[in-house]
Amino acid sequence: MLNATLPTDTRHCAVSALRCIAAEAGDPLAKLFENDGATAHFRANDEIFAEEEAADAVYRVTEGVARICKFTEDGRRQIGEFHFSGDVFGLEYGSHRSVCAEAVTDCRVSIVGRAQLLAKARRDGELANALWRSSCDALHRMHEQLFLLGRANAADRVLAFFHMTAERLNSRGVVEIPMSRQDIADHLGLNIETVSRTITQLRGEGAIRLEGARRVCLDTHDRLYA
Amino acid sequence: MLNATLPTDTRHCAVSALRCIAAEAGDPLAKLFENDGATAHFRANDEIFAEEEAADAVYRVTEGVARICKFTEDGRRQIGEFHFSGDVFGLEYGSHRSVCAEAVTDCRVSIVGRAQLLAKARRDGELANALWRSSCDALHRMHEQLFLLGRANAADRVLAFFHMTAERLNSRGVVEIPMSRQDIADHLGLNIETVSRTITQLRGEGAIRLEGARRVCLDTHDRLYA
DNA sequence: CGGTCCTTTGATGTTAGTCAAACGCCGTGG
DNA sequence: CCACGGCGTTTGACTAACATCAAAGGACCG
């Protein structure tokens, strides 16, 4: 669904709509992006920004999914996080990118200048607060992620990933997973074969059901996943 | 050294002194803690705050080292990050703690109320900015950490850990590691035996030298570690 | 000197990684 | 319509890395 060509009008999917309501209710970050942001489109797997390049812009996902990653010279990849509709990403304290960003699905993002954002934040306490909140949320998710990578086995990682994705997409029950097995593997610190095998195993245990490779039915309140 | 009983006067070690200079130069967070903060002491391994409890205070390490961790009910622990002199920690967006904090060494912390800090940040753009910077730094380190846990083998993790610790303690060359093997293991997603064995192996390869279990000499510019 | 705690080492087990190939879905073109 | 090729996913056989279980050093303190 998100992989399909984007609609040409400005309607949003259910999740985006929820975020927009929040924005109308006064989220200054959302407002800033909607008023001053330039819109850009990226096709699936396009690079949004690269590691080491100047970090002079900040992004907000309008539609689709983006990933933040780091590479080694031998091609290994770690996906630090995925960003969904309404998420702000690409704001760094340093002047150059320490990570790169890519489109997971076709997606649409809103872009504002970093200097502009920071200058506004310095004058506007509410905006700075929202900025800080966004980092805080990310930090919170990172702690969960660290826990997964450090202490959980493959089954727990995959199951937790499905549940977290369901939550972030506001779709409890049945989730349309927007990312490939390779993306999941690189996010969970596993390899693609292990992810696939683990999904098969979870299916055998009845923890999940599949409707095609990308559509997962979750057995809610099943087992701990954090 | 940091494990020894704390001096009773107000002198700081070299690292703290550097941080203090930064503070005098105008770090509003440091100033706030120095002016309005209440001082508290914790003995090594004391709990500073627990998971789930109300997150109504924010902390800044004055001396010593603290760790942020999460537990499973079966006792497994993941240390998300260590905090050194000058680091602010314990600021959460939600009202309750999603992690717990403990003292690694005997340490001294400065404490301010969360509500007070946030109220000030809302009025003071510079303070909000500093707050955001602190989260940003943490986020940056978390990305490195995620990469380590997801994609690096035991040797790379341990070596990277030593180098990062050296950097954060401002001691290139010889580092006094303040934490136990168990702490290192729980931070790197390894077990204690693997950490010990890996250190032995690195010593054999000449990547590090040991002067006692806690003092490590690093072969600077040796191998990639991030 | 004996105890405790932390660290190291050894032997063995388990999990996930690697290498290789087959499957399934889909779009293209004969 | 069906054969072909490409791509993402799954499965299989085997290997490597780390975990687990167990015990022996080694430093520190009473």
CA-CA distance, A12 to A16, in Å (whole number)?
Answer: 5
Per-residue pLDDT tens over the stretch A107-116: 999 999 999 9
Q: Which residues contact A209 (CB under 8 A, 6 or more apart)?
A: A203, A216, A217, A219
Q: In the predicted model, what is the mean pLDDT of residues B81-102?
A: 96
Is the pLDDT reported for residue A132 higher than 50? yes
Mean pLDDT of B123-140: 87
Return the CA Rg of chain B.
Answer: 18
DSSP string of B115-155?
Answer: HHHHHHHHH-HHHHHHHHHHHHHHHHHHHHHHHHHHH--HH
Name which of B79, B142, B148 to mutate to probe chain A: the one with the most chain A Cβ atoms within 10 A of its Cβ.
Answer: B142
Interface test with A, best of B58, B78, B126 (most A CBs within 10 A): B78
Asked whether the predicted pLDDT for residue B70 surpasses 60, the reply is yes
Which phi and psi angles does A148 have, rounded to 5°? -60, -50
Residue B13 binned pLDDT confidence (cut-offs 50, 70, 90) = very low
Write the CB contacts of A153 (distance below 8 Å, at least 6 apart in sequence).
none
Q: Any idea which architecture A14-142 has in CATH?
A: Sandwich (2.60)
Q: Which residues pair with A103 in a beta bridge?
A: A66
Chain A's closest residue to B135, CA to CA, is A135
Mean pLDDT throughout B82-88?
A: 97
Class of domain B153-218: mainly alpha
The answer to whether residue B69 scores a pLDDT higher than 50 is yes
Closest-CA residue of chain B to A189: B150
Query: Given this model, what pLDDT does residue B167 score?
Result: 94
Instruction: Decide the pairing of beta strands A107-113 and A57-63.
Output: antiparallel
**Chain A interface includes B188 (CB < 8 A):** yes
Is 70 exceeded by the pLDDT of residue B82?
yes
Nearest to B139 by CA among A183, A140, A56: A140
Inter-chain CB proximity B131 and A132 less than 8 Å: yes
CB B63 within 8 A of CB B13: yes
Position B19 confidence tier, pLDDT thresholds 50, 70, 90: low
Find the length of chain B.
Answer: 226
Mean pLDDT throughout B39-52? 97
What CATH architecture applies to the domain B14-150? Sandwich (2.60)
Chain mean pLDDT for chain A = 88
Task: Give the CA B45 to C1' C1 distance in Å.
Answer: 30
Evaluate if residue A146 carries a pLDDT over 80.
yes
Using a CB–CB cutoff of 8 Å, tell me whether B215 touches chain A. no
- Of A140, A6, A112, residue with least CA distance to A55: A112
* Pick from A212-221, B35-44, B144-153, B159-168: least confident: A212-221
Instruction: Please check whether residue B15 touches A, CB under 8 A.
Output: no
Q: What is the total residue count of chain A?
A: 226
| CB-neighbour burial class of residue A121 (10 A; exposed 0-12, middle 13-18, buried 19+) | buried
Q: Is the C-beta of residue B191 closer than 7 Å to nucleic acid chain D?
A: yes
Counting Cα atoms < 13 Å in the Cβ hemisphere of B47 gives 8
Using an 8 Å Cβ cutoff, are A99 and A51 in contact? yes
> Residue A11: what pLDDT?
36
Which one of B78, B122, B123 has the shortest CB-CB distance to A147?
A: B78
pTM: 0.89
- Residue A60 amino acid letter: R
What is the model's pLDDT at position B170? 93
Q: Is residue A124 within 8 angstroms of chain B, CB to CB?
A: yes
The domain spans of chain A are 14-142, 152-218
Tell me if A172 sits within 8 A of A218, measured CB to CB: yes
Q: What DSSP designation does A87 have?
A: -
Residues 6+ apart with CB under 8 A from A161: A148, A184, A187, A188
For the record, the structure tokens of B124 come out as: 């003071």
For A189-201, write each residue's pLDDT tens digit.
999 999 999 999 9
- Can you tell me the mean pLDDT for B39-57? 97
Q: CATH assignment of A152-218, given 1.10.10.10, 3.30.420.310, 2.40.110.10, 3.40.50.720?
A: 1.10.10.10
Residue B11: the pLDDT is 37
Q: How far is A225 from chain B (nearest CA, A)?
A: 11
Distance measured from the CA of protein residue B191 to the C1' of nucleotide D20, in angstroms: 10
Q: Do A143 and B99 touch (CB under 8 A)?
A: yes
Closest CA relative to residue B58, chosen from B98, B91, B96, B18: B91
pLDDT in tens, A24-36: 567 999 999 999 9
